Amino acid sequence: MDGQQYITLKDGTPMPKLGMGTWCLGDYRSERDKEIDALRAGLDAGIEMIDTAEMYGEGKSEKLVGEALRGYRRENLFLVSKVYPHNAGRARIYRSLEGSLKRLGTDYLDLYLLHWRGSVPLGETVECMEELVRSGKIRHWGVSNFDTSDMEELFQEESGANCAVNQVLYHLGSRGIEFDLMPWLGERGIPVMAYCPLAQAGALRKEIMENQVLRETASRYSITVMQLLLAFVMQQEGVAAIPRSGSREHVLENVEAGNIVLEPQDLQRISAQYPPPDRKQPLDIV
């Protein structure tokens, strides 16, 4: 990358603006070498953040990431994992975290997220997360798939305001969070970590790949529509993105996209095709 881009967390820690997602990576043995090569291509090109979860392949993704990371300096990395909601209470979270750390081959996470809201009371999860921060096993904690009302409830809990990040679905074709969630988080210094920033290669918004305005705009910058989608997300203030790829070529394209600055008139043009919301929309999830 030309230069690393970071977002500053509330405690002053820099969090990379671009990371690599890993959902489905590690699922198939036959893809393993290719996927490790893709992750290492990203690390070698300067990507420092990797997002994973105990849920992905029931630990297979974390194991794959652990293997890809071998030989890289831990202090230069920003590792994110997530706990299943049913494991996010006093009875299980410590074992869950130990499992993630072991599979990743590290002794701490930079960020540990509650994957989505479940039946464990939020206050209990927060207490456990705070304890894990104190013990040094995680540096920060956050949430995922929390809408504005969930964030408000979280902030009612003691230490709930220590939440560092909210990871939610966000791409050009799904901009609902811009109406209320993004401003709410922004006012409180909580970055958004955008998942599915590529709309899952268009699978979440079928026509997006064929849109003529997007195609023309992308070709003027000599980039692909996927890179345009990523550049759009990366250009939002306080937003990090974690595109996933099992291909070295695509990872390197994503690194390039992180450096592209779209001109205001081009942002307007693509926004006219996929306008921001003019009213509250329920949080999009996959």
Ligand X SMILES: NC(=O)c1ccc[n+]([C@@H]2O[C@H](COP(=O)([O-])OP(=O)(O)OC[C@H]3O[C@@H](n4cnc5c(N)ncnc54)[C@H](OP(=O)(O)O)[C@@H]3O)[C@@H](O)[C@H]2O)c1
- 104-123 binders of ligand X (CB under 6 A): 115
Binds ligand X by CB under 6 A, chosen from 39, 126, 164, 196: 196
Of 16, 21, 85, 258, the one binding ligand X by CB under 6 A:
21
Q: Do 166 and 213 contact (CB within 8 A), yes or no?
A: no
Q: Which is nearer to ligand X, 106 or 227 (CB)?
A: 227
Tokens standing for residue 270:
């693509």
- Hey, CA dihedral for 149, 150, 151, 154, is it positive or negative? positive
Burial of 280 (0-12, 13-18, 19+ CB in 10 A): exposed
How far is 30 from 217, CA to CA, in rounded Å? 37
Contact segment (CB under 6 A) with ligand X among 63-71, 123-131, 179-187, 190-198 equals 190-198
44, two tokens: 């070698």
For strands 6-8 and 14-16, give the pairing. Answer: antiparallel
Rounded CA-CA distance 25/167 in Å is 19
| Shortest Cβ 228–ligand X spacing (Å) | 10
Q: E strands along 43-165, which residues?
A: 49-51, 78-83, 109-114, 138-144
What b-and-e string marks burial along 28-66, b requiring 16 or more CB atoms within 10 Å of the CB?
eeebbeebbebbbbbbebebbbbbbbbbbbebbbbbbbb
Instruction: Compute the Cα dihedral for 207, 210, 216, 221 and give only its sign.
Output: positive
Pick from 165, 226, 270, 283 the residue near ligand X by CB under 6 A. Answer: 226
Considering only 172, 199, 233, 270, the residue that binds ligand X (CB under 6 A) is 199
201 binds ligand X (CB under 6 A): yes
**Residues between 34 and 73 that touch ligand X (CB under 6 A):** 51
127 binds ligand X (CB under 6 A): no
| 195 lines the binding site for ligand X (CB under 6 A) | yes
Q: Cβ-closest residue to ligand X?
A: 21
Nearer to ligand X, 106 or 145 (CB): 145
Closest separation between CB of residue 134 and ligand X, Å? Answer: 25
For ligand X, the closer of residues 200 and 273 by Cβ is 200
Work out whether 197 is an interface residue with ligand X (CB under 6 A): yes
- Site size toward ligand X (CB under 6 A) is 27
Give the footprint of ligand X on this chain (CB under 6 A).
Answer: 21-23, 51, 115, 144-145, 167, 195-201, 224, 226, 242-247, 250, 253-254, 286
